[in-house]
Amino acid sequence: MTVPRTLLEKLWSAHEILRREDGTSLLWVDRHLVHEGSHHAFAKLKERGLKVEAPELTFGVVDHYAPTRAGAVAPDIRRMIETLGENARKHGLKLFDLRDPGQGIVHVIGPEQGLTLPGLLINCGDSHTSTHGAFGALAFGVGATEVAHILATQTIWQQRPKAMRITIQGALGAGVTAKDLALHWISELGADGARGHAIEYAGPVVEALSMEGRLTLCNLSIEGGARLGLVAPDQVTVDYLKDRAFAPKGAAWDAAVADWEQLSSDADASFDREVTLDSAVIAPTVTWGTSPEDALPITAQVPDPAQMSGARRETVRAALDYMALTPGTPLNEVAVDQVFIGSCTNGRIEDLRLAAKVLAGRKAKVPGLVSPGSAQVKKQAEVEGLAQIFTSAGLEWADAGCSMCVGMNGDRVAAGKRCASSTNRNFRGRQGRGARTHLMSPAMVAAAAVTGHLTDVRPLLEGRT
């Protein structure tokens, strides 16, 4: 009799070539995504006189350093972009460069192009590779040495993580998004709450999410300590992928869909850890500190470290000092200096539509930047009139790229300035040295733009369909 297996176990066994005595597996890699930061790995190949083992499975993407606004490009940024281009041409890789109509953030264009498919093992030298798990793909970030190993062998050595399932019951309320759901569970379990685990998201809330919402949820898995995130593919997945540029066609499509239907955890499969959440308690959420776990509903107040004990007291005190926040202050009274909408977490068309719904007919009280996740998203947003809504509100409409999420391309938040951001990390200096970042959904960012402070978006969405 067959032992029931989790989705993780099915994906792992399908890619395992061999297993060492210490339990480490050698896995076959189906998709390898490289960006500007991969130059160290290509240099290792050159040193050893090696070639890329499977160039047809490796795809280059210009995103972290991609200029998103008009103006001169700094020499160091230009050099990073040019080096990726040189390596791609040398090894015969498909490159989504600044001139490619499919250019964008790697974790946006992978799904958008149909490079991301259920059942694949996908690696990239970026921690948010967990995003692709929304399709039922085994996807996780790797370091520079591992990037070089994959380039040379199309394999990776990896310890299988434990299996964890987060089941979300009920239905999300009005104005509550996948971003709020992710920040909620991370705040509940902590930034290390899922360490050593692969999370499978399940339950009626997850089943009701669009692919964009599932991508956001899996993207933020890493912020709760998980190695990766997973959602079992279903009809929502199939409908999203059909006719994508790199998706199977004709008979191959039918065969692929039949295979994807097998990619779910068996009914009696055993997980190492089970967590169940009630969506009724999840509200629009914002961060107040310097870790994604420092999050609370917008209706709450800045926490008081004096009410805490041990190491947590000192951690919170230090975070509030950096963020220049006073304990007891209502979060919806915290003023912001600027806003940012974009990133691999929340730069997709659905994100822009919801933000535009809030901004339509209103004016922003603070400056802000909107950077779509890809050139295709930008084009679609312009066709739909979303870009006009952003610019009419007073926000800047930029090109696609990682932009102000990580600040490598020059888009940064100035020291001491407070930014309402739809990105994934609020670490010290993440958006610029001394920058103060509050994470939230794109809709909540839009609400902060029109009020000038952290704001509950729900009243601003009333009557808007």
pLDDT at 70: 87
pLDDT at 2: 85
Coil, helix or strand for 463? coil
Backbone angles phi, psi at 401, to 5 degrees: 165, 175
- Domain at 7-274, CATH from 3.30.499.10, 1.10.3720.10, 3.20.20.210, 3.20.20.140: 3.30.499.10
What is the DSSP-derived secondary structure letter of residue 424? S
| Residue among 16, 40, 37, 28 nearest 145 (CA) | 40
Domain boundaries, given as residue ranges, for the chain:
7-274, 284-458
Strands 418-421 and 436-439: parallel
Q: Which residue has the tokens 């970042």?
A: 437
Q: What is the DSSP string of 425-439?
A: ---TTTTSTT-EEEE
pLDDT at 72: 80
pLDDT at 407: 93
Q: In what order do the strands lie in the sheet with 94-96?
A: 94-96, 58-61, 31-34, 121-124, 138-141
Give CA separation, 400 vs 101, 381, 387, in Å: 11, 12, 13
pLDDT at 312: 94
Fold of 284-458: Aconitase; domain 3 (3.30.499)
pLDDT at 465: 73
Domains 7-274 and 284-458 agree in fold: yes
| Residue among 29, 92, 94 nearest 60 (CA) | 94
pLDDT at 1: 62
Low-confidence ranges of the chain (pLDDT < 50): none
CB atoms within 10 A of CB 129: 26
